[in-house]
Structure 1
């Protein structure tokens, strides 16, 4: 069963407006503070980007649907901080720290932030040679689920589960989010760009000229029959 966040191809959620004109430079002040707080807390080293994504996925469905973008970020961050012992529910509720945090010494220093953001966090790794060559016909796993952790994080979208496509690019090996999100190790795997016909994903109403390209990890794929 897919979670509420896996909304690709789902009917009934309204039309996507690509011209909404949102400009972060003109965003509400709390949006900027929410982003800054998430970045600052990342310096504490208590979770990774995959765990933070999964934390947002775990929000209650009713909250996920009513929260704005940065409310989702803040909800996931609050849950992560409690789950990882950075603060307690009582501290969160009161807005007051109960003593000094055990990770206080890892707080971001102003001078280190720009360099860290510029360098980013590369997720390329060494791993076994890729199983699929460019041009290989593949089929995605069905159902789209984490095979290690029941109900766990995965980057295989539900709408592409069980679909047949073609490998068009090898990206090298990258950290495997299905494992990394649950602190079970990086378990790097080859990552591929896979091309699908829009009609194979969406049905006959899709334009036959359209294609969808997804970046998918090797264990999401098998040779197409």
Structure 2
């Protein structure tokens, strides 16, 4: 079953406004601090990007729907820091450390931040060659779930489960989020861009000229019959 965050194609939440007018340069000061704090905590090396995404997915549904974008980031970060032993609940509540952290030396150094952010953290890896060629007709797994970890993280959206599409691009092998989010190894797999007709996903009411392209890992796919 999908969690509340898997909102693609869900009725009742209103249209997406691509012109929402948000300008990070003019954002509230705490938004910038929230982003900086998430990046700084990433330097501690206690989790990965997939785990941080999953932490936000695990927020209480009521909180998830009422929180703003960066409130979700902060809620997920707080839970992750406690779960991974970076801080205690008491430290988080009081804002005061109960001693020197054993990972204090991993804290980001100001002089190293620019270089790290400039180069990023590539998630491409070496793995077995792709099973599907460009042009192959494939079908996604019927249920959008993590098959290794019950209730776990997955990048297969519920609205595309069981849908038939065409491989339009091979991205090479990338870290597999369904494993990496749960610290079970990178388990790199081939990654593909798969094109679906809008009508395949949304039904006859969709415009027949529209398509949706999703990046999907190989284990999400099977040959279409």
Q: CA deviation at 1:102?
A: 1.2
Structure 1 residue 14, shift from structure 2 partner: 1.4
Match of 1:37 in 2: 37
Query: Aligned equivalents of 2:88 and 2:142: distance in 1?
Result: 39
Q: How many residues align?
A: 225
Q: Deviations over 1:116-164 (max 9, x none)?
A: 0000000000000110000100000010000000000000000000000
What TM-score comes out, normalization by structure 2 length? 0.99
Match of 1:86 in 2: 86
Q: Look up the SS of the partner of 1:132 in the other structure.
A: coil
Instruction: State the alpha-carbon separation in 1 of the partners of residues 16 and 214 from structure 2.
Output: 19
Q: Please identify runs of 4+ aligned residues in structure 1 that moved more than 4 A.
A: none
**1:136 matched to 2:161:** no
How far apart are the structure 1 equivalents of 2:117 and 2:126? 23
Shift of 1:96: 0.6
Displacement after TM superposition at 1:93 (Å): 0.6
Match of 1:192?
A: 192
Unaligned residue ranges in structure 2 (runs of 5+): none
Q: Which runs of 5+ in 1 are unaligned?
A: none
SS of equivalent residue, structure 2 residue 193: strand
What's the counterpart of residue 146 of structure 1? 146
Report SS of the residue matched to 2:91.
helix
Cα deviation for residue 92 of structure 1 reads: 0.4
Aligned positions of 1:1-225 closer than 5 A: 1-225=1-225
TM-score, scaled relative to structure 1: 0.99
